[in-house]
Chains A and B, each alone.
Chain A
Amino acid sequence: MIYYLIPALLMFCCGVYGFVTRKNMIAMLISLELMLNAVDINFVVFNRYLFPGQMEGMFFTLFAIAIAAAETALAIAIIINVFRAARNVDVNDLNKMKH
């Protein structure tokens, strides 16, 4: 079981690193997907090892995938809109609302 959790953990760490370091919003979103995916794997692994025959973990993952899809779609829509307004998707430059 640990063999499945370790890659998931590494994937999650990569997601964290990417999310904190990248400036492009789409890249951040990609990192976010990595993290989500790592979590999904955990659900599945725990389900499979600890509660074989049940499907809670699987359904959770299923819904997570659905929500991730929705979220990504919406986020990308916003990003595109921002890009239209600012010709830029750099997260640091988007501080007009602050001032």
Chain B
Amino acid sequence: MDITIPILILAIPLFMFLLLGLTGMKMPHWLAGTLGTAGMGTVLVLSYITALTYFYGGSPQFIAENGERLQAVIFNCTWLQFTPSLVIKLGFLLDPISALMLIVIPTISFMVHLYSMGYMRDHHGVYEHGFQRFYAFLSLFSFSMLGLVVATNIFQMYIFWELVGASSYLLIGFYYKKPSAVSASKKAFIVTRFADLGFLIGILVLSYYTGTFDFMQLTSAPVDGMEGVYQVSEQTALGVKNIFAQSAAPMFMGASVLTWALVLIFMGGMGKSAMMPLHIWLPDAMEGPTPVSALIHAATMVVAGVYLVARLYPLYLMETTSLDIIVVVGALTAFYAAMVACAQIDIKRVLAFSTISQIAFMMVSLGVSRPEFHEGIGYMAGMFHLFTHAMFKALLFLCAGAIIHVVGSNDYTAMHGLRKFMPITNACFLIGCLAIAGIIPFAGFFSKDEILVACFGHSIFWYIWMSAVAGLTAFYMFRLYYLIFWWKEHKVHEGHHAPADQPWTMTLPLVILAAISCVAGFVPMGNLVTWNGVPMFEHVNFFTNLTHLNWSVALVSLAVAIVAIIIATVMYRKENPLPDRMADMFPRLWDWCHHRFYWDELYQFITHKIIFGCISRPIAWFDRHIIDGAMDGLATVTNKASYAIRGLQSGKIQMYVWVYLIGALLLAAVTAVCLM
């Protein structure tokens, strides 16, 4: 494949970032916005071309004769050479999952660019302060995220991993005058940084034992006779396996080093993807502008952890212990986040917890995936859910943004009954809710169903667990929907505009995303994205997904979802005392959910009391008083000694005489005694 387009995909956002970042402040606002959006539009087109070429181009570089999809490196240039074998390269890797991400990221990003043109100005059309900066950061983020997904080696991924973290930091703290935004951005960066420490150590361990960073060398064997083309095959990571076998299965503290490495790398993924217990930054990240939440904290960056696990999936398969850990973490997080989402007031927080829960679904899906069962359907399902979730969650966030923009508050208490004022938003939000709840034929139904099938194949316990979470999902989403759009009539305050649908720049993305959410489920993902590149279905048509459904599982989950929706309808459609009564019935549970199980307080305690109070302050004190004190003490002792000696040189002649005399006499006496 020609390398021009891939290079442009990365270069355009980077160039836009530099252009807008350096000269943006001199530009008129509209120009900056238009430039950014146009740049992203170009990237969108180029990415679609690339992805479609990959999936449907039929080039032997991308698809083997037996229909197996191959990994292909488009370009790979050395950036920094550590040792002859450990090299950071910057490259462009095309394989099913990166091609999938090449569709997801530019789509959402472009929608958000477009949407922000409307969102980032007030009711009078005046642009917000720092509008150009906003677009510059969006471009930086897009660049970093694209660089992340096309990484050819784990270190390139780490580089862009850090860059998305930084751009996320900048965007969460966009309203830098607001202390809550500043602390939220700080929290996000530090928590993910902590996770990245695990990632980094994992990379160090992995690279020490395997001697390479390269994904393809790590996860697959090269195809004979074809330079730069690798095949994901049954003997995955044979080479790697040999390395670990050769080094006499190095163990560390009771587990193999590979397990350690993989778990540590997963820790990086936990940070970015907000898995428990590193999830605390994501709800706070909602302090950023809503389009940013949609792009970064719902659709793209937060699934980087999932993407990372998927990328190294063949390695994880070698150590199923690590996959089990992923399942446990994912399942707990999913349930926890769903519980908390039921008790939040801030609509963005509800969506944030819903995001955590849904990403946990993907994680669980990857964790339960085994080649023995349905050719590793979990992997496919996870990536499928990533795709559909990106679409409908971005939709929900953008809808929420539109509502917040109108109402000027994040609390649903200020909303209620908006359905008549904002019909388009209402419809789009409803589609989003149906999609996430898993109602046929919306996108979420298919992907979630596949995940449940994968869980079913792995263990019945996790199947029931995840089904319950799915039910909770449907419940809290419809609770949110009813509380925003129904519950009671909306009161328009004196002197305020009546809420209404927003300009086309904001509604168009909503409509497009809603449309995608309706049909995305019919994408024959099993044919496109599988863990080893071998398509799952023989014949591909629009209804492939329908015909391949496991209807017994599907019907159960559908039933659960519908029951949950009915309960939500009963409780929240009209204003009634039922919710309060429910809360009073389980006060403890409500309290814990409402306060997110006090995780933030726990972290507050750990960071402030333990890290600052018990480590940093004592160290600083130790430094000032013990170490420095010792140095000063040395100086003081020298000084004191000097003064003590100086006393002898007092300049007092009488003292001199006295000392001299006594000395002489002593000498005389001693001599005399000796002579006797």
Contact = CB atoms under 8 A, between A and B. Distances in A.
Direct contact of A and B (CB under 8 A): yes
B657 A20 contact: yes
B657 A19 contact: yes
A43 to B, nearest CB: 19
Contacts of A68: none
A20 B654 contact: yes
A91 B658 contact: no
A43 B266 CA distance: 104
Contact of B658 (A20, A28, A92): A20
A91 to B, nearest CB: 7
Interface magnitude class on chain A: 10 to 19
Interface of A is mostly: helix
A6 to B, nearest CB: 18
A28 B651 contact: no
A16 interface: yes
A95 interface: yes
Interface string B648-662: 000111100110010
Interface in B623-676: 651-654, 657-658, 661
Contacts of A19: 654, 657
Interface magnitude class on chain B: under 10
Contacts of A98: 651
Contacts, number: 17
A91 B657 contact: no
A51 to B, nearest CB: 24
Contact of B661 (A16, A21, A91, A97): A16
Interface of B is mostly: helix
A29 B28 CA distance: 96
B661 A92 contact: no
Contacts of B652: 91-92
Contacts of B661: 16
Contacts of A91: 652-654
A20 B654 CA distance: 5
A19 B656 CA distance: 11
Contacts of A92: 652
B651 A95 contact: yes
Contacts of B657: 16, 19-20
A28 B651 CA distance: 15
A98 B649 CA distance: 10
Interface in A59-99: 91-92, 95, 97-98
A21 B658 CA distance: 10
B643 to A, nearest CB: 13
Interface string A15-45: 0100111000000100000000000000000
B634 to A, nearest CB: 26
A98 B652 CA distance: 10
A20 B661 CA distance: 10
B658 to A, nearest CB: 5
A49 B264 CA distance: 107
A97 B654 CA distance: 17
A70 to B, nearest CB: 19
A16 B653 CA distance: 12
A4 B27 CA distance: 114
A31 B653 CA distance: 13
A19 B653 CA distance: 9
B49 to A, nearest CB: 88
A92 B658 CA distance: 15
A16 B661 CA distance: 9
Contacts of A20: 654, 657-658
A78 to B, nearest CB: 13
A92 B650 CA distance: 10
A91 B657 CA distance: 14
Nearest to B653: A91
A53 B268 CA distance: 113
A91 B661 CA distance: 19
A68 B187 CA distance: 90
A30 to B, nearest CB: 14
Interface string B526-547: 0000000000000000000000
Contacts of B658: 20
A15 B653 CA distance: 15
A95 B653 CA distance: 11
A19 B659 CA distance: 13
A9 B651 CA distance: 28
Interface in B485-537: none
A92 B652 CA distance: 7
A14 to B, nearest CB: 14
A97 B653 CA distance: 14
Nearest to B654: A20
A59 B661 CA distance: 27
Nearest to A23: B654
Contacts of A28: 653-654
A98 B651 CA distance: 7
A29 to B, nearest CB: 11
Contacts of B653: 28, 91
A95 B646 CA distance: 14
Nearest to B658: A20
Contacts of B651: 95, 97-98
Nearest to B655: A20
A21 B652 CA distance: 12
B206 to A, nearest CB: 70
A91 B656 CA distance: 13
A91 B652 CA distance: 8
A16 B657 CA distance: 9
Nearest to A21: B654
B655 to A, nearest CB: 8
A12 to B, nearest CB: 11
Nearest to A25: B653
Contacts of B654: 19-21, 28, 91
B664 to A, nearest CB: 11
Interface of B: 651-654, 657-658, 661
11 contacts: A16-B661, A19-B654, A20-B654, A20-B658, A21-B654, A28-B654, A91-B652, A91-B653, A92-B652, A95-B651, A98-B651
Closest 6 CB pairs of A and B: A98-B651, A20-B654, A20-B658, A19-B657, A95-B651, A20-B657
Given A16-B661, A19-B654, A92-B652, 12 more contacts: A16-B657, A19-B657, A20-B654, A20-B657, A20-B658, A21-B654, A28-B653, A91-B652, A91-B654, A95-B651, A97-B651, A98-B651
